[in-house]
Amino acid sequence: MLLSQLKLLINTFRAVRIFSGIQPTGRKHLGNYIGAISQYVESQERGEGIFCIVDLHAISVAYDPAELRERLYDTTAILIGAGLDPERCILFRQSDVREHSELCWLLSAVTAHGDLNRMHQFKDKSQKQRELVSAALFFYPVLQAADVLAYRGEEVPIGEDQRQHIELMREIARRFNERFGEGTLVEPEHRIPAVGARIMDLQDPTTKMSTTSGSEQGTVHVLDEPSAIQKKVKSAVTDSGSGVHRGEGKEGIANLIDVLAAVRGSTPDVVESEFEGSGYGDFKGAVAEAVVDYLTPTRERYEELRPDEPELERILAQGAEKAREIAAGTLADVRKMMGVGPLDIRR
């Protein structure tokens, strides 16, 4: 058998390595749940999942140190509540694995300044900063590249807004391999959901629902009580026309169609035919009910898990230990190829 065929055969049986990160800033919302968290949970069935709560990314915008720690526990409990099983995947806190920061710096040597300048997220977020626009905000995609490349992640489940960052990450891996040694780093593929990849703010359907910006009324949080969800969905901004379908000037209705399709595991076409001839009131009522049903089990499990911070710490520490083992191997290779440090540092 040819070597290439043998490799193909081995790959067929080897679990795909899936990596993604989520910020512990603010409060996680329906967009995060549909675009990212639900994909994380599903991916445990398909491969080796590695999920990271990225506190080092969170410090790139204005934040409160004590609150960051609280939100980190919130996010951990939400992820486990949603169905991540720390025995079946690796769940950890980014700052516990120092290899991420080191690799970020090493990769900055093969990252083009001009590429970072083109990033939409930097442009959007830097405009929203009232005080300091930090260098960390500019460097964010390099750290994100380090997060994934440290694990030689093959697949990255994310929302649509992160597409450009994954492209850059691939470019960084490519440039590293060309310069220092083919096959050292893996170029990851994004996995963006077909429906619900970009859930919009309910009060402003031209901007994405966001953890750090956006309106309270326009953001459905994972931990919102059913009455709050009902109120937010029912007061979602729509158009003055009628007809539950997508189209010019109907961004608000299109967003709710996407939300309903995503939480039902259906498609926008099916939702449109079901609600043909219905008024906006009835439609919003159905969306609100479906979202409440969708988020309630996670919120209830969160309430049970969140008070036990020592247990959450134990889970994160266990995850970090497993993560460190993988990342340290990649770092040793990268340092060696780059001529950084003594030659015998390789394990």
Least CB distance to ligand ATP at residue 18 (A)? 12
Closest C-alpha among 75, 92, 97 to residue 24: 75
Helix, strand, coil percentages (3-state) for the chain, rounded to 5, are 55, 10, 35
**Residues forming beta bridges with residue 16, ordered by sequence position:** 47
Indicate the residue among 32 and 238 with the shorter CB distance to ligand ATP: 32
Q: Are 111 and 138 in contact (CB under 8 A)?
A: no
* Cα 110 to Cα 62: distance, rounded to the nearest angstrom: 28
| Residue number, 141 or 319, with CB nearest to ligand ATP | 141
Q: Is 207 exposed, middle or buried (0-12, 13-18, 19+ CB in 10 A)?
A: middle
CA 128, 134, 136, 142 torsion: positive or negative? positive
Q: Min. distance of Cβ 335 from ligand ATP in angstroms?
A: 29
CB of 97 to ligand ATP, least distance (A): 18
Residue 8: CB atoms within 10 Å: 11
Residue 241 — φ and ψ, nearest 5°? Answer: -85, -155
Backbone φ and ψ of 196, nearest 5°: 85, 25
Distances (CA, A) of 334 to 44, 247, 324, 340: 28, 49, 15, 8
In the complex, least distance from residue 218 CB atom to ligand ATP, rounded to whole angstroms = 11
* Dihedral sign, Cα of residue 73, residue 68, residue 25, residue 114: negative
Q: Would you state the structure tokens that stand for residue 166, as one six-digit string?
A: 């994954």
Evaluate whether 159 touches 41 at the Cβ level (below 8 Å): no
Backbone angles phi, psi at 189, to 5 degrees: -105, 140
Q: How far is the CB of 122 from ligand ATP (least distance, A)?
A: 11
Q: Which two tokens stand for residue 41?
A: 């949970």
**Shortest approach of ligand ATP to residue 22 CB, angstroms?**
4
Smallest distance from the beta carbon of 206 to ligand ATP, in angstroms? 12
Toward ligand ATP, which CB reaches closer, 102 or 204? Answer: 204
Least distance between ligand ATP and beta carbon 308 (Å) = 23
| Positions in the binding site for ligand ATP (CB under 6 A) | 22-23, 25, 31-32, 34-36, 158-159, 161-162, 197-199, 208-212
* Nearest approach, Cβ of residue 28 and ligand ATP (Å): 7
Range list of β-strands (E), the chain: 16-22, 47-53, 90-93, 155-157, 189-191
Closest CB to ligand ATP among residues 49, 176? 49
Question: Position 37: which residue type?
Answer: I
Give the residue closest to ligand ATP by C-beta. 35
